[in-house]
């Protein structure tokens, strides 16, 4: 079985998905995973914008307002931020062995 990240699904990936689903809802996470290719193209063009939204989401998460903040953004931005969050977390954890 392959994940949307174009590699085998691992337990770590499932854990990340579970955390995100509990915070943002299964429907949002599933829809975001369908946007992974779009995110990769968008990331190349607008990395600073994605990072700015991502950093704000991190602050809102610490304050318990992550879902409200994410829902206030346009759908495509929501999906890109979630893809960025998944990729960032998975890549960070993959480098720690």
pLDDT tens for 38-88 read 888 988 888 899 889 989 999 999 999 999 999 999 998 999 999 988 887
pLDDT one-digit tens code per residue, 7-22 = 444 555 677 788 888 8
Question: Residue 93: its pLDDT value, please?
Answer: 57
Other C-beta atoms lying within 10 Å of the C-beta of residue 81: 22
Q: Are 35 and 83 in contact (CB under 8 A)?
A: yes
pTM of the model: 0.71
Question: Residue 94: its pLDDT value, please?
Answer: 56
Distance CA 39, CA 72 (A): 19
Q: Return the sign of the alpha-carbon dihedral for residues 66, 68, 74, 79.
A: positive
Question: Residue 14: its pLDDT value, please?
Answer: 74
């Amino acid at each position: 079985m392959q994940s949307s990240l174009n590699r085998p699904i691992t337990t770590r990936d499932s854990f990340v998905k579970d955390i995100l689903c509990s915070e943002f809802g299964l429907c949002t996470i599933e829809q975001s995973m369908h946007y992974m290719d779009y995110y990769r193209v968008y990331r190349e063009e607008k990395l600073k914008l994605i990072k700015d939204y991502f950093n704000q989401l991190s602050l809102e998460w610490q304050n318990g307002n992550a879902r409200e903040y994410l829902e206030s953004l346009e759908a495509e931005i929501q999906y890109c931020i979630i893809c960025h969050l998944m990729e960032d977390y998975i890549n960070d954890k993959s480098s720690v062995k």
